[in-house]
Structure 1
Amino acid sequence: MLLVLSEEHKEHLGFLPQVQSSVVSEFGRIAMEFLRKGTNPKIYEGAARKLNVTSEAIQHGVEGLIYLLTESSKLMISEIDFQDSILVLGFSEELNTLLLQLYLDNRKEIRSILSELAPKLPSYHSLEWRLDVQLASRSLRQQIKPVVTVKLHLNQNGSQTTKILQTDPATLLHLIQQLEQALGEMKTNHCRRIVRNIK
């Protein structure tokens, strides 16, 4: 699976061939430091003074490198696919090798950082439902108002929580149709190929 870079990211990474390989290695170290601890504008300013360029150019170069490393790690791109992905940037063989080594050295740590940043979503445990129908009232004798009440039991961080949802049958039927359509979409060859590449 190849990583597709936008023109903006290509432009940001276009700064890397203008500097020496030792500076690119330093940018990689800064990128990893930013992923661990967050950004520090002082580092941009210091590097900009040393290289005699604007701090924005340094910032864009480091952010482009962060994007390249995080997206590649998130998709678990193989070595060959990573090389093919950065081939479109037109970098020298030495720079491509340096970026590949940077990716291989840090992808496990980047994945662990990204997993810590991912939200901890609740998972399904069980479901109870009830259909309430008001057959008649003194003010509106002919109107029927059905309501479906759903009690959803969820597991989140080892504890159970309960959510109560109410809807009318028409909205519930529409929701069921949309979910069935999504499940049907998962059976297409395109979705199977995407899921296979994600794993």
Structure 2
Amino acid sequence: MILFLSELQKEHLSLLHRHSAQVLVDFCKLTLDYLNNGSNHKKNNIAAEKLDISVTCVQDLIHALAYLITEGCKHNLSESNFKSSLGIAGFSPEQQQVLVKLYNSKKSELSTALYQLQNKDPSYQDFLWRFEIQLASRNSQEEIRPMVTLNFIIATPKRVGQSEEDNNSIVSNKNDCMSPICVNSSIHDAKATSQCQNIINHMLLQCDLPNLLHLTNKLEEALKESKSQHVRKVQRSL
């Protein structure tokens, strides 16, 4: 896969084509600082004064570089594909080496942060079970059947940049599937999203032994299917 930038993004990046690789290195540092901590007006003003350009041009350039790096991480581009994308964007071989080095060094970190920003689906955390059986009853004439109580512990990521009260209100409204996810522009907030910041829900399920056996068989079939050649081809294509 190759990334194709818009003409406006290419225009913003064209400023780097007229300067040395060291200027690109400096802008890579500004871009990483922007991704981690948000816009830094003081550093942007210093860069604008050094290059004798407007602060708006500096900001547009940083945004274009950030888009280039994050899109590469989002699509998990190989080094060769990312380098080809840089060539199409107009970067020289020397500048390509600088950006590829940056991409390889930050790819894992940025991919994890982007996943945390985008991930909003519940995920499995733990599982508890209890075997229950009624030993005796004077009122019931039916056959005593053992039951199994299952407790699935599910974690739903909090929406980055919102308070816990906002997140709780979103989880309680299960029918509201159209609520847009709200995130801060800073990846620093995504890095702070850890397991302790998840919303924990308990899904209780009670079933008898025949149904439990049926559920076990279906899960084993799904696990076997997930290892099939067809599913692996789909995973590779995604």
* TM-score of Structure 1 vs Structure 2, range by shorter chain: 0.5 to 0.7
Q: Which residue of 2 aligns with 1:113?
A: 113
TM-score (normalised: structure 1) = 0.62
CA distance in 2: counterparts of 1:23 and 1:113, whole angstroms: 27
Q: Where does 1:84-95 land on structure 2 (aligned, <5 Å)?
A: 84-95=84-95
Q: 1:162 to 1:58 in 2, by over 3 A?
A: closer
The answer to whether the Cα contact below 8 Å between 1:154 and 1:162 also exists between their aligned partners in 2 is no
The aligned length equals: 142
Between the two structures, name the one with larger relative contact order (CA 8 Å, sep ≥ 6). 2
Matching residue's letter, 1:12: H
Q: Where does 1:1-199 land on structure 2 (aligned, <5 Å)?
A: 1-122=1-122, 155-157=154-156, 196-198=236-238
**Secondary structure at 2:5's aligned position in 1?**
coil
1:8-61 CA distance string (max 9 Å, x none): 221121111122211111111111111111111221111101111111111111
CA distance in 2: counterparts of 1:6 and 1:164, whole angstroms: 38
User: Following TM superposition, by how much is the alpha carbon of 1:103 offset from its aligned partner in structure 2, in angstroms?
Assistant: 1.0
Q: 1:55 to 1:193 in 2, by over 3 A?
A: farther
The answer to whether the Cα contact below 8 Å between 1:48 and 1:54 also exists between their aligned partners in 2 is yes
CA distance in 1: counterparts of 2:174 and 2:12, whole angstroms: 48
User: Following TM superposition, by how much is the alpha carbon of 1:100 offset from its aligned partner in structure 2, in angstroms?
Assistant: 1.2
The answer to whether the Cα contact below 8 Å between 1:36 and 1:113 also exists between their aligned partners in 2 is no
Q: 1:96 to 1:53 in 2, by over 3 A?
A: same
1:41-98 CA distance string (max 9 Å, x none): 2211111011111111111111111100000011110011011111112322111111
CA distance in 2: counterparts of 1:6 and 1:87, whole angstroms: 14
Q: 1:194 to 1:58 in 2, by over 3 A?
A: farther
Q: CA RMSD in A?
A: 2.8
The answer to whether the Cα contact below 8 Å between 1:122 and 1:154 also exists between their aligned partners in 2 is no
Q: 1:197 to 1:102 in 2, by over 3 A?
A: farther
CA distance in 2: counterparts of 1:80 and 1:155, whole angstroms: 39
Gaps of 5+ in 2: 125-151, 158-170, 176-231
Matching residue's letter, 1:196: R
Q: 1:193 to 1:19 in 2, by over 3 A?
A: farther
User: Following TM superposition, by how much is the alpha carbon of 1:119 offset from its aligned partner in structure 2, in angstroms?
Assistant: 4.4
TM-score (normalised: structure 2) = 0.52
